[in-house]
């Protein structure tokens, strides 16, 4: 195994998209940021220097960070932000994970432009469990605003309204030629005729689950979230923000140009969304020279309708681990977390401008009716480590969550979550089950729930109210898929299981960034009870303080 060192400089860089040039926050002047490629077992050392005017942190999405929680990255959870002019070095080892992950800023909405692929190859000398591809290409799906994304979220926070929707989706940073002023510089993805090619698809969009399809080509899914899957073939895939999917694609079509395209899967009803389509061009390497020019119009795939939940359900039902896995059969901690939106009444000391949600309310979101509030003067991991009192409470979710009919009309009082910094304490080594239930308050929605520091098995998903007496019979305890982000079905539920074998403070949140800001999060605090330093490495000397 190797030690790989990298430097990331966070800086404002002019980037031209959709007819205008924008001063954009990037890493090393690149948008999207650099692709990191490692082998399983390698150690990554990344020195991040902040030369921008915003506080920033970097999160290594999906990396388990076994006993290296200080390198996880979410601001005010495992570290204070890196302030302008300062640096912090993230150091961690890849242990047992193979496939596609990514990295992104974990402060405000900076991840709109601060993100990149993190590719983990098998250990040196080891092979993929599928045909070795001739060519591998990361496909980063993103979301672009003409306005500064920080201003977009600031405006929403100040007014209590929903933030403005994006102006384009992107593939590897480019909107593609269906958008204005974008015919130059479409992303070209090369493919070899007669060969197997691997696409590593990442949904880095801030707020939108996306369908992805390639014209005239089938996709064989072989992995997701850096875990291998039993291969299955499909025409279209769907990724919630945060999720990754590895697909094999055969160069078995006439060697010309084809579009690959991504567009919204929008499960929320009556909510405005960006209904545009981003494209990149799949180009056969063997294509005759003119094909490289813009004279040959690529073939366009037909994507599912924006509200096609049936396609999403069929797709997610195809996910299996490649073989029998060790899912905890017995459970020590059985948790039930509701996930959903809310509308808080205008507080007394606010004025009407600050309450521009529906009927003079403010948008909010919660787990078990608590809107998670990040601390602002210390991180949760540090407060726990140093025994600082008053930063968080551990009474989540001890009060049994109010159960109600999640498919029916809900009393207005449940539309108003209460703010709090409440964490869930888990005993090191305990076997945990979490039921995630969409409340459908304000609008039913497919929420991509992401857990830091862990991979988990998704043992079941369904629609309506989770019923512990009936639905346990549907659990797959043989070969469920392993992931770090579960797209909880709209108007439905998902059940995940894992062993709490990684001590630390791990945020679990909706990966729609608009929902994090509104409080759809909690923190799992995993401790062996003999003091954190017995169980994890000491904080690095350059750990940013608040
Ligand atoms: Cu990619 Cu906390 O997330």
Out of 204-218, 283-297, 368-382, least confident range: 283-297
Rounded CA gap, 61 and 449, in Å?
A: 13
Mean of the pLDDT values across residues 298-320? 97
* Per-residue confidence (pLDDT) for residue 291, from 0 to 100: 46
398 vs 243 pLDDT, higher one: 243
Give nearest CA residue, ligand 1 atom 3: 61
Instruction: Report how far ligand 1's centroid is from the alpha carbon of 409 (Å).
Output: 32
Share of the chain above pLDDT 90, in %: 90
CA gyration radius for the chain? 22
Instruction: Report how far ligand 1's centroid is from the alpha carbon of 110 (Å).
Output: 12
What are 244-274's pLDDT values in tens digits?
999 999 999 999 999 999 999 999 998 999 9
Domain ranges of the chain: 1-129, 130-321, 333-535
* Per-residue confidence (pLDDT) for residue 383, from 0 to 100: 95
Give nearest CA residue, ligand 1 atom 1: 61
Instruction: Report how far ligand 1's centroid is from the alpha carbon of 104 (Å).
Output: 8
CB of 509 within 6 A of ligand 1: the answer is yes
Out of 9-13, 182-186, 262-266, 295-299, least confident range: 295-299
Instruction: Report how far ligand 1's centroid is from the alpha carbon of 74 (Å).
Output: 7
CA 53 remoteness from chain centre:
25
> Of the candidates 56, 39, 44, which has an alpha carbon nearest to the alpha carbon of residue 91?
44
Rounded CA gap, 361 and 296, in Å?
A: 52
Rounded CA gap, 391 and 505, in Å?
A: 13
Instruction: Report how far ligand 1's centroid is from the alpha carbon of 450 (Å).
Output: 7
Mean per-residue pLDDT over the chain, rounded: 95
| Helix residue ranges per DSSP H, 243-359 | 309-317
What are 16-65's pLDDT values in tens digits?
999 999 999 999 999 999 999 999 999 999 999 999 999 999 999 999 99
Instruction: Report how far ligand 1's centroid is from the alpha carbon of 193 (Å).
Output: 37
CB atoms within 10 A of CB 169: 24
What are 458-515's pLDDT values in tens digits?
999 999 999 999 999 999 999 999 999 999 999 999 999 999 999 999 999 999 999 9
What counts of helices (H) and strands (E) characterise the chain? 5, 32
Rounded CA gap, 193 and 290, in Å?
A: 17
Kindly report whether the global pTM for this prediction surpasses the value 0.95: yes
The fold of 130-321 is: Immunoglobulin-like (2.60.40)
Residue 289 pLDDT grade (very low, low, confident, very high; cuts 50, 70, 90): low
Q: Quick one: which atom of ligand 1 is closest to the CA of 516?
A: 2
Stated as kind and residue range, the H or E segment containing 363 is strand 361-367
CB of 515 within 6 A of ligand 1: the answer is no
Q: Quick one: which atom of ligand 1 is closest to the CA of 73?
A: 2
Q: Quick one: which atom of ligand 1 is closest to the CA of 111?
A: 1
Residue 409 pLDDT grade (very low, low, confident, very high; cuts 50, 70, 90): confident
Mean of the pLDDT values across residues 289-303? 75
Q: What would the DSSP string read from start to end of 20-35?
A: EEEEEEEETTBSS-PP
Q: Are 542 and 87 in contact (CB under 8 A)?
A: yes
> Of the candidates 333, 356, 313, 312, which has an alpha carbon nearest to the alpha carbon of residue 456?
333
**What class has domain 333-535?**
mainly beta
Is the pLDDT score of 242 beyond 90? yes
What are 181-208's pLDDT values in tens digits?
998 889 999 999 999 999 999 999 999 9
CB of 517 within 6 A of ligand 1: the answer is no
* Per-residue confidence (pLDDT) for residue 293, from 0 to 100: 53
Question: How is residue 448 written in tokens?
Answer: 């991509």
Instruction: Report how far ligand 1's centroid is from the alpha carbon of 454 (Å).
Output: 12
* Per-residue confidence (pLDDT) for residue 402, from 0 to 100: 77
Q: Which residues make Cβ contacts (< 8 Å) with residue 101, sequence separation at least 6?
A: 60, 61, 62, 63, 117, 118, 119, 120, 225, 226, 244
Rounded CA gap, 315 and 461, in Å?
A: 12
Instruction: Report how far ligand 1's centroid is from the alpha carbon of 345 (Å).
Output: 29
* Per-residue confidence (pLDDT) for residue 399, from 0 to 100: 67
Residue with the two structure tokens 């709090």: 420
CB of 106 within 6 A of ligand 1: the answer is yes
Spatial strand order in the sheet of 418-420: 418-420, 370-372, 361-367, 333-345, 431-438, 492-499, 456-463, 482-483
Q: What would the DSSP string read from start to end of 103-167?
A: EEE-STTGGGTSEEEEEEEPSTT---SSPPPSEEEEEEEEEE-SS-HHHHHHHHHHH-SPPPPPS
CB of 74 within 6 A of ligand 1: the answer is yes
* Per-residue confidence (pLDDT) for residue 452, from 0 to 100: 98
CA 71 remoteness from chain centre:
18
Q: Which residues make Cβ contacts (< 8 Å) with residue 88, sequence separation at least 6?
A: 47, 48, 57, 79, 82, 540, 542, 543, 544
Q: Which neighbouring-strand residues pair with 280? A: 260
Rounded CA gap, 110 and 161, in Å?
A: 20
Residue 371 pLDDT grade (very low, low, confident, very high; cuts 50, 70, 90): very high
In the three-class reduction of DSSP (H, G, I as helix; E, B as strand; rest coil), residue 535 is classed as helix
Rounded CA gap, 4 and 121, in Å?
A: 14
Question: Measured in Å, how far apart are the chain's first and last C-alpha atoms?
Answer: 35
Rounded CA gap, 57 and 142, in Å?
A: 19
CB of 242 within 6 A of ligand 1: the answer is yes
What are 114-137's pLDDT values in tens digits?
999 999 999 999 999 999 999 999
Rounded CA gap, 229 and 220, in Å?
A: 10
Q: Give the pairing type, strands 196-203 and 135-144.
A: parallel
Instruction: Report how far ligand 1's centroid is from the alpha carbon of 185 (Å).
Output: 29
> Of the candidates 497, 510, 269, 193, which has an alpha carbon nearest to the alpha carbon of residue 367?
510
Question: How is residue 284 written in tokens?
Answer: 């056969």
Handedness of CA 530, 536, 541, 544 (dihedral sign): negative
Does this chain's domain 1-129 share its CATH topology with 333-535? yes
CB of 104 within 6 A of ligand 1: the answer is yes
Residue 294 pLDDT grade (very low, low, confident, very high; cuts 50, 70, 90): low
Q: ipTM exceeding 0.95?
A: yes
Q: Are 353 and 452 in contact (CB under 8 A)?
A: no
CB of 507 within 6 A of ligand 1: the answer is yes
Is the pLDDT score of 317 beyond 60? yes
Rounded CA gap, 439 and 367, in Å?
A: 9
Q: 293 vs 181, 185, 290, 296, 368, CA distance in Å?
A: 17, 12, 5, 7, 55
Rounded CA gap, 251 and 200, in Å?
A: 16
Backbone torsions φ then ψ of 315, nearest 5 degrees: -65, -50
For the domain covering 1-129, report its CATH number: 2.60.40.420
Instruction: Report how far ligand 1's centroid is from the alpha carbon of 516 (Å).
Output: 10
């Amino acid at each position: 195994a190797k030690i790989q060192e990298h430097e990331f400089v966070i800086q404002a860089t002019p980037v031209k998209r959709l007819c205008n040039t924008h001063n954009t926050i990037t890493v090393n002047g690149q948008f999207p940021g650099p692709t990191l490629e490692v082998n399983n077992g390698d150690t990554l050392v990344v020195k991040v220097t902040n030369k921008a005017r915003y506080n920033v942190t970097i999160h290594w999405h999906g990396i388990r960070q076994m006993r290296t929680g200080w390198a996880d990255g979410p601001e005010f959870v495992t570290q204070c932000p890196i302030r302008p002019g300062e640096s912090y070095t993230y150091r961690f080892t890849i242990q047992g994970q193979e496939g596609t992950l990514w990295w992104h800023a974990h402060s405000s909405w900076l991840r709109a432009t601060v993100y990149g692929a993190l590719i983990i190859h098998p250990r040196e000398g080891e092979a993929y469990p599928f045909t070795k591809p001739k060519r591998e290409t990361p496909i980063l799906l993103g979301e672009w605003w003409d306005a500064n994304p920080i201003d977009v979220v600031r405006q929403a926070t100040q007014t209590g309204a929903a933030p403005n929707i994006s102006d384009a989706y992107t593939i590897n940073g480019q909107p593609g030629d269906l958008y204005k002023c974008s015919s130059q510089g479409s992303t070209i993805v090369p493919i070899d005729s007669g060969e197997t090619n691997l696409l590593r698809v990442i949904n880095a969009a801030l707020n939108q689950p996306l369908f992805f399809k390639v014209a005239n080509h089938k996709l064989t899914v072989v992995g997701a979230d850096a875990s291998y899957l039993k291969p299955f073939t499909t025409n279209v895939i769907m990724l919630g923000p945060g999720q990754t999917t590895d697909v094999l694609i055969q160069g078995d079509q006439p060697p010309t140009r084809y579009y690959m395209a991504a567009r919204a899967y929008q499960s929320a009803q009556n909510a405005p969304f960006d209904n545009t389509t981003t494209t990149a061009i799949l180009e056969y390497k063997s294509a005759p020279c003119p094909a490289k020019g813009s004279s040959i119009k690529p073939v366009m795939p037909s994507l599912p309708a924006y509200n096609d939940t049936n396609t999403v359900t069929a797709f997610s039902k195809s996910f299996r681990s490649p073989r029998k896995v060790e899912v905890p059969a017995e459970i020590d901690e059985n948790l039930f977390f509701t996930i959903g939106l809310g509308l808080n009444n205008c507080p007394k000391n606010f004025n009407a401008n600050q309450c521009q949600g529906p009927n003079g309310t403010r948008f909010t979101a919660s787990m078990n009716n608590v809107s998670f509030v990040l601390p602002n003067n210390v991180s949760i991991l540090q407060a726990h480590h140093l025994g600082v009192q008053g930063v968080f409470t551990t009474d989540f979710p001890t009060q049994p969550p109010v159960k109600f009919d999640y498919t029916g009309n809900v009393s207005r009082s449940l539309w108003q979550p209460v703010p709090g910094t409440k964490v869930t304490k888990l005993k090191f080594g305990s076997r945990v089950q979490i039921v995630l239930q969409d409340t459908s308050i304000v609008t039913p929605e497919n929420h991509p729930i992401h857990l830091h520091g862990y991979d988990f098995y998704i043992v079941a998903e369904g629609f309506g109210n989770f019923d512990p007496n009936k639905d346990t019979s549907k659990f797959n305890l043989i070969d469920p898929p392993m992931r770090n982000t579960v797209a909880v079905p709209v108007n439905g539920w998902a059940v995940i299981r894992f062993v709490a074998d990684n001590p630390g403070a791990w945020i679990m949140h909706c990966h729609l960034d608009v929902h994090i800001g509104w409080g759809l999060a909690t923190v799992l605090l995993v401790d062996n009870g003999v003091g954190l330093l017995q169980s994890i490495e000491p904080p690095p000397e350059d750990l940013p303080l608040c």
